Chain A
Amino acid sequence: MGFPHKLHSRETPVLSEHFGQAEARSLDGWKKRGGYQALEKALGMTPADIVSVIKESGLRGRGGAGFPTGMKWSFMKPGDGRPHYLCCNADESEPGTFKDREVMRWTPHALVEGCAIGAYAIGAETCYVYIRGEFTEPLLYMEQAISEAYSAGLLGANAMGTGKRVDVHVHKGAGAYICGEETALMNSLEGRRGNPRIKPPFPAVAGVFGQPTTINNVETLAAVPQILMKGAEWYKGMSRSNPKSTGTKLYSVCGNVRNPGTFEVEMGFPFKDFLYDLCGGPLDGRKFKAVIPGGASVPIQTMEEADATLMDYEGFVAQGSMLGSGGVIVIDDAQSMVRVIARLARFFAHESCAQCTQCREGTAWTTKILERIRDGQGTTEDLDTLMDIAENMTGTTICVLSDSCATPVVSGIRKFRSEFESLIQGRRVFPAMAAVA
């Protein structure tokens, strides 16, 4: 549903079906909508059966990387004598992304249920929901939902009277983008500075508190109850293009577009229709110029690329970008690409955890150069330097924040070079600066 807009006829509301209905937030309201039947069913199944249903459904991680969820769950070896943990990554901080926020705002019980099922499926008794610190409203509803679920005996030492233990805890982040990176999230959860960890060991071997851990995105876990109830075949059926991408995806749309908001469509939906029909097209007298389709860290698409895209994991890659988190940022012809990219770079420079040299220094240097170009004081060499720095920042660090900063810069300069050049050529010449250069 295109909250705050009415449901568009071409949307497929699976997760967003009850968005906008305040009643769905309460346990009673949620049960009226069929809530917690899936958990009851799940607790009657073996964990292995749940994992195989999820595997069969083709559900992939909605946080950005698109890793098959069932396979991720199957890495957790049952009966290894160690405590297992499930982490729900609700630290939705990717610029342009606000779909998890809507899930937690309107259907907190969907996530609680998904967490409980996921925890049971991987042999964990505890699930931590790590919520972004700025998400005060989602935090409130999640805490209410969990407390209701405990009072009703749905969670706890004897979940739904089955004798099985499922605990769900909320942990509030303190406002760092990097804590959405799974290993930084684990450090933050443990009370350490939110710095990403070296992999290996992967979380399935040594995650939270050094124990086997699975981390899933909010949207991924919220989809699990419905898949269990309606079946893998139903979920697999929602795939219009590539069979490797199944189900529905929530997109949060912002920027220079007539109807910004959250939309849910099937995998493989045409991006052109999405932008011009669901999102209402550009503002009066404007034209779309570029789209960042998956949150700030994916490559920028030109409109030619965007118009040719089918919206799934493979479709975005085929058109020079990535599905990412589904945070669609639309840029129209009234905007300067240099300004946009400089602002994105500034964000990454601000959020770099400062561990790795390339990221700590590279993001800040990139920002300085971009802002200099933006202010009309750039040189042609600056563009070469930017491309060179970006190369040094890519694939050389512990996590991908550094790569994320380089991505819009590289794609921006490649695809919109003329905008950079016109700013550079129109610059005032400072003889002293030229001598230094």
Chain B
Amino acid sequence: MAEEKMVSLTIEGRPVTVPEGTSILEAAKTAGILIPHYCYHPSLPIPGVCRMCLVEVEKAPKLAASCATSVAEGQVVHVHTDRALEARKGVLEFLLINHPLDCPICDQSGECELQDFTYQEGRADSRYRDPKRFNPVEDFGGDVIYVPNRCILCTRCVRFMDDLAHDTVLNVSERGDRALIGKFEGKGLTHPWAANVIDLCPVGALLSKDFLNKARAWELDRAASICPNCTQGCNIMLEVRDNSVARLKPRPNEEVNKYFICDYGRLNYRWINRQDRADLPMVRSGGVLASAEWEVAIRAAANVLREGRVSLVVSPMLSNEALFLLSLLLERNGGTGVFRVATGDEAPLPGVEDLALRRDRAANVFGAELLGFTRSDNPLESLADGDVLIIADDDLNGVDAATVSRARSIIVIGTTVPDSISPAVILPISNFAEEEGTFTNLRGRVQRFTQAKAAPGLARPSWLVLGDLLGVIGLQERFFLPSEVFSNLAQSRREFSGLSYDTLGMRGLPVLNAGQPVAV
């Protein structure tokens, strides 16, 4: 590839060097300067209509819209001069004259760019004395409602639907100050990626029905995570209120999901909060299952596993760390390790390359395969007489449990306990939102997720439980951090070599030979 031509300029007195063709707005970002803007979004075509990003360019007669103006060699750009500030203050005043200023009842409040920039550089008062424009709230279909009175006509939603979703649903209707976002007759925001318009909307005009009036933005605790609902591995924020996940938001990752998540992933979070969880370690004694101290339960499980073949039924929702420790058990005792995956239709976002809701609806299918587990629709098929059956977070729904009787003993390591079986030991573990770990997406990208909420009862992180179990068996030293499990994994599995939590960062890195078929 030809070397990109670089351009040097000065923005707010700071020297900046960026590739030719970069906008002033993007160049300013590299210097740590955020030029206020509304209509501009890095993933969408540039309409240059909100006029919020006006800056002063020396020797130019007019103020320049920094989103639509390319950098030029030697250019001197001022963002905070009186002239530029006055112009942006004017834009903010115009945007607010018909805005209802109903922040106290608006879901966007606290994460609203109109609020932010008005506090930053807007007028303290309004000179508007006339009646405000009013239009009724409209159901846009899907998860989206439209509150036209709050709309600033930035058209991000229209451009997303047209240019990325390739589904022409929205438009700008009417002209002048009567203008509002319209929905074509008979259409709705039912595209599998449509709800991204809610995140793209810089104000409270497009809101999620699911999240409506559920929480104030500042009440939410946020944790960087990975969407567990398919193998794409979209980067997300888990937003939690009162130890309950309130919503999922996309977290930008240029390599995986840009700025987006699909509606299926976005709305499929209630299972994370389920209340009927396994929350106490339990041991069967004299035919009765009773709660036990963790140490007792671990030792009981270790006793069962002392010798003999194991048959592992694992969940592809488990982290690389947990699956790695389970695979060590499999290596030591011998036996089989299988997992099953729920599937659905693939739903791509056509305007973005290699981004789709994938058929496999679990986060770590590729990780499980890399770590030696086999995909199977009938997980108990390979269960042999006398095996120790380990159910690692599979609910066994839809599985004929009659074959379970072949097992010498059953250990459940999971977030729930299947009804149909009588385990000897239950080791309750946290789900992905309650622990730290990594998933490997379908392109072999290893990505970290962090803890968003507390696990119920005495449930412990899967890597901790399994580490302790292997410690008692004598396979491993005990682990104190998930990063230690991961570095152990990276040392012993060729595909993961060279990776660590530090090098992964929060955007992830691919495993060796990612994208090529891996010999397991």
Contact = CB atoms under 8 A, between A and B. Distances in A.
Main secondary structure, interface of B, reads loop
A78 B94 CA distance: 45
A353 B176 CA distance: 6
A349 B90 contact: no
A370 B91 CA distance: 20
Interface stretch (B44-52, B385-393, B429-437): B44-52
Contacts of B174: 354
A26 interface: no
Given A365-B130, A385-B127, A433-B129, A357 B51 contact: yes
A389 B128 CA distance: 11
Given A193-B172, A361-B97, A354 B90 contact: no
A357 B95 contact: yes
B177 A357 contact: no
B226 interface: no
B49 A351 contact: no
B374 to A, nearest CB: 53
Contacts of A178: 175
B5 interface: no
Given A351-B175, A396-B90, 18 more contacts: A193-B171, A198-B46, A198-B47, A198-B48, A198-B68, A349-B176, A352-B176, A354-B177, A354-B179, A357-B50, A357-B94, A360-B153, A362-B94, A365-B128, A392-B86, A392-B90, A392-B94, A397-B51
A361 B171 CA distance: 19
28 contacts: A198-B46, A198-B47, A198-B48, A349-B177, A350-B175, A352-B176, A352-B177, A353-B175, A354-B177, A354-B178, A355-B47, A355-B153, A357-B50, A357-B94, A358-B51, A360-B153, A360-B177, A361-B95, A361-B97, A362-B94, A364-B176, A364-B177, A365-B128, A369-B130, A372-B130, A392-B91, A396-B51, A437-B129
Interface of B: 46-52, 54, 62-63, 65, 68, 86-87, 90-91, 93-95, 97-98, 127-130, 152-153, 171-172, 174-179
A391 B503 CA distance: 53
Contacts of B177: 349, 352, 354, 360-361, 363-365
A353 B97 CA distance: 18
A436 B63 contact: no
A297 B176 CA distance: 17
A8 interface: no
Main secondary structure, interface of A, reads helix
Contacts of B93: 392
A152 interface: no
A355 B176 contact: no
A354 B179 CA distance: 6
Contacts of A433: 129
Interface in A372-427: 372, 381, 385, 388-389, 391-392, 395-398
Contacts of A240: none
Contacts of A436: 129
A158 to B, nearest CB: 41
B176 A350 contact: yes
Contact of A357 (B49, B171, B172): B49
A358 B90 contact: yes
Nearest to A360: B177
